[in-house]
Structure 1
């Protein structure tokens, strides 16, 4: 299904391919083709069409939009406005959109006239020849409101109205005495020739899309980071849209709006925070696309008899039963698993630490998630501490026994049977 919004957020549990998908979508927006190509991605980053930022708890408006910064110059401190990443990419996108929109517009009269008169202004020539059907006349001076011309007729000098010439250039209409019409017409033709050259150069500017990728968008305080700009990112509030809006920025006092060719792509880990807990302003202005854990993508991947699809499916079903769906294990964790050693290290260094986050200080539940059909967990070392062995007196109000757990070393997890027994 094609998504038309310019503001997207991919959400899901850890390891479901959210960051991967942001790259695919960014390249699709820029090139028209959905593809994952890290070299192409870096190419567009260097060109400034893609920017990447990770939000964190202390990330602020000053880093995102603009803020006051300081630098030392000798014994003095200079304060200046420093643009943030959002403002910088928005300015690039706006510049491209303005250049593209100007390609179909007539070049301003003043700009073309200055180019025409430049040989005189710069002292290279005393007069400029304008040819007309075998004859010529010469422009010799610009007097502000009038233009002096020299003609080899009985009356050699005339003054033409710049206002009349501007009207002829812009609209093609001519309101003047017929005796002078030919001079206006042929002078306008010269100006239109210059305008055509400008337009040909403008056509070299191709329309471009720009993408700001915001990783972990839910980790920052959205209302503080976006400030008043949260309204401007709406499709209908962008520049040249039906309800276009701009704001005056607090530090630079620049008039700021969000251009049509700037896309915002966020990713959020639902293990940290659910969509329901998000700032309502963010929820209203972004389209949310779920990235679920998909064990089926591991179909046929068998490592020393261990069916990774069945293994992950069973683990996730247990997590959902004991916690919730937003705290699954993502399928991408298993993409690089090619040996039993890879799998053992994955469980020791990533899967079990992730389960510790999901079930903080609830080791019994972690043991249940990884238990075999006998209810035993081969991935954790369990030790029972007994009150009577630790304390000699005053133990009546204490628990008699407490279980402690420790993750086994990865080289103790090289037995393929302990993985198979999770799902068999």
Structure 2
């Protein structure tokens, strides 16, 4: 049976184990290798989901496992989706403790990166564990373990090929000060008790000298106190699916609810995940290459350029005024570091590019691992990017040269010098940028944009309008017609028609909807997408593309839902977000945060003001519940009490029923004692809300 791209491959060791799962990502290729190997090949992306032993399967045989899978996943595409998520029954996260040396030249006390080299024992095992690995940094003093904090590996960044790497984090959490903590570099390190130290010393293949030690889930949880380290995010993904379904059916919806319930935060998370579900996610390398080429062809036709494909990698765009030459580097998927693209520019490519003016020479780098590309002027590369040296490359860029560039799904960056350890320079303005090929000021297409409506926000800002501009060349003020944010994003979505684009409109109820959307309000409907209208300023035809979606947010305490424009309500789905007490399952001293907030809100509801409840985000910081008395005191002093006083400015009785007599006096003035003394504040909380004491 012929193996095709996007087929599922299961790698086994006889009947001993399932070693891994993979997805075929290329067509057949013949590679004549000198070493003992197979020349007939297809590229496979391995998903690091093994090994899985028979005893771990739903039924303890391989055939039983496959039967279970075939029933669980009815179609191949669903199988791919399941395999690509980190939340399936094949979850196999790994856990490591990593020695952190404060005197190291690569010391990072902020928790952004962890550096290691190829001489460190267990580094291969750590790199194989890959993205999603749970790690804890440790230091040893007088034979005892002390722990800095913990985080999940976001990426493994290549610092120098085959020699140095960085683990990168965006969720690293340092431990709070405890009675037996020690202080280093301004951080308080948690002391590992005798039980933890003995468990570490008894892990398999333990060596006291090793800087990297693989540990068990139990040890990880005991050190961090994180009992959710292996809990599946499947429910969260199912929630995403619910919102994806609304977007696919309605094309737009808005969240509504009281302040502080995470409407904007949730909208952004959903938008980011929805963008990842674009059709290009499942393109083969060849399909994505053809897709990028089709965008250049389409835009060239609109701009009046002839499109000539000289070869698979050499493109010429020409009109009466100029000639644009593009070299396409089409990196194959399956790289060890998905975002890292290594580009080689040969003398023949240089000769090809040099046949036009310097400003019209481009290198377009396609990264098939993330399905994105960067359009880079060649002179920008020569001037700014660190070029590789050695006997095979010309680091001046005059002859054969090569370089690394990082192309992610949402950013791109490059290195400028030999310092492998400095931060890379951002060049995200070149990401997904077709326009720069024709205009040096051309903007890239962001798949996610955000705008906030307000009372003076206008059609001219949203769709298009006349804007005064000073033209220094003629020393006059001109009045060109400029596109608004919605029209710009619509153009991008029309060009990138296989990708999802999302506009988040914050405070959507505060704008004058009829004034802002104008004649386009009818084109938002699912069955009206693609219909054209003539815009009043430019007199050009315009339509809303199928792949542009809108997520709005509105605060019900600010303005009632019944006052929202009826035309908007008909065309938008609606989803209520209310306070979530379950994510505040934490105590400060005797006070349980979730119970405290629930008691406050119940008093507000009893007073008949359901839309004026307090959201859970007022008791959170950086996505987690607050942890100190001072943080709780601050929330009451500068958020909760002022908000309640404003909401019930004309009803002293309701305000007293909610806050009691401890927070404000008979003149509605805030009592200063609890604001100035945290111990007084805690007694005030306990007196006002005894139900929250545990």
Compared CA separation, residues 291 and 43, structure 1 to 2 (3 A): farther
More helix by share: 1
Distance 1:277 1:43, change over 3 A: farther
Alignment of 1:207-286 (within 5 A): 207-239=498-530, 245-286=531-572
The C-alpha deviation readout for 1:335-359, integer Å capped at 9, x for no partner, is: 2321111101100100111112211
Distance in 1 of aligned mates of 2:464 and 2:645: 39
Choose between structure 1 and 2 for higher RCO, CA contacts under 8 A separated by at least 6 residues: 1
Deviations 1:47-104 (A, max 9, x none): 511111011110000000001111233553211101100000001101122xxxxxxx
Identify the match of residue 411 of structure 1 among 653, 676, 688.
676
Inter-partner Cα distance in structure 1 for 2:641 and 2:491: 45
> Deviation of residue 364 (structure 1)?
3.8
Match of 2:634 in 1: 345
Task: Please report how far the alpha carbon of residue 268 of structure 1 lies from its aligned counterpart in structure 2 after TM superposition.
Answer: 0.6
Alignment TM-score, normalising by the size of structure 1? 0.62
Q: TM-score, normalised by structure 2?
A: 0.39
- Three-state SS of the structure 2 residue aligned to 1:53 is strand
**RMSD over equivalenced CA pairs, Å:** 2.1
Q: CA deviation at 1:275?
A: 1.4
Q: What is the deviation of 1:407? A: 4.7
Say if 1:341 and 1:414, in contact at 8 Å, map to a contact too. Answer: no
Q: Which residue of 1 aligns with 2:73?
A: none
Which residue in the other structure is 1:55 paired with?
453
Are the counterparts in 1 of residues 261 and 579 from structure 2 also a CA contact under 8 Å?
yes
SS in 2 for 1:214: strand
| CA distance, structure 1, for counterparts of residue 652 and residue 492 of structure 2 | 51
- After TM superposition, give the deviation of residue 254 of structure 1 in Å: 1.2
Q: C-alpha separation between the residues in 1 aligned to 2:555 and 2:658?
A: 21
Matches within 5 A, 1:15-414: 15-32=260-277, 43=411, 47-73=445-471, 74-97=474-497, 207-239=498-530, 245-299=531-585, 301-336=586-621, 337-371=626-660, 377-380=661-664, 382=665, 403-408=667-672, 410-414=675-679
Distance in 2 (alpha carbons) for counterparts of 1:216 and 1:297: 25
Deviations, residues 293-340 of structure 1 (Å, cap 9, x unaligned): 1222212x0001111111111100111122421110001211232111
Q: CA deviation at 1:226?
A: 0.3
* Higher-Rg member (1/2): 1
| Paired residue secondary structure (1:420) | helix
Match of 2:261, SS state, is coil
Alignment-derived partner of residue 120 in structure 2:
none
CA distance in 2, matches of 1:404, 1:217: 32
2:523 counterpart SS class = coil
Partner of 2:136: none
1:13 aligns with 2:255: no
Partner in structure 2 of residue 143 of structure 1: none
Taking structure 1 as reference, are residues 366 and 414 closer, same or farther at Cα in structure 2, changes over 3 Å only?
farther
Which secondary structure does the structure 1 equivalent of 2:479 belong to?
A: strand
Give the Å deviation of 1:13. 0.7
Mapped partners of 1:9, 1:323: distance in 2: 24
Q: Check 1:81–1:32 CA distance in 2 against 1; reply closer, same or farther (3 A cut).
A: same
In 2 relative to 1, CA 282–309 (structure 1 residues): closer, same or farther, beyond 3 Å? same
Residue 232 of structure 1 deviates from its aligned partner by: 0.4
Query: Matched residues in 2 for 1:404 and 1:326: separation?
Result: 22
Query: Unaligned regions of 5+ residues in structure 2, if any?
Result: 1-241, 279-407, 413-427, 430-444
Q: Deviations over 1:268-288 (max 9, x none)?
A: 111111211100001000000
> 1:404: how far off?
4.5
- Secondary structure of the corresponding residue to residue 265 of structure 1: strand
Task: Give structure 1 stretches of 5+ with no counterpart.
Answer: 34-39, 98-206, 240-244, 372-376, 384-402
Assess, with a 3 A threshold, how the Cα gap between structure 1 residues 18 and 404 changes in structure 2: closer, same or farther.
Answer: closer
* C-alpha spacing 1:42/1:325, structure 2 compared with 1 (3 Å): farther
SS at match of 2:250: coil
Q: Distance in 2 between matches of 1:213 and 1:271?
A: 20
Deviation at 1:42, TM superposition (A): 6.1
- Tell me the SS of whatever aligns to 1:405: coil
Output the CA distance in 1 between the equivalents of 2:477 and 2:620.
52
Counterpart contact for 2:662–2:671, Cα < 8 Å: no
| 3-state secondary structure, aligned to 2:482 | strand
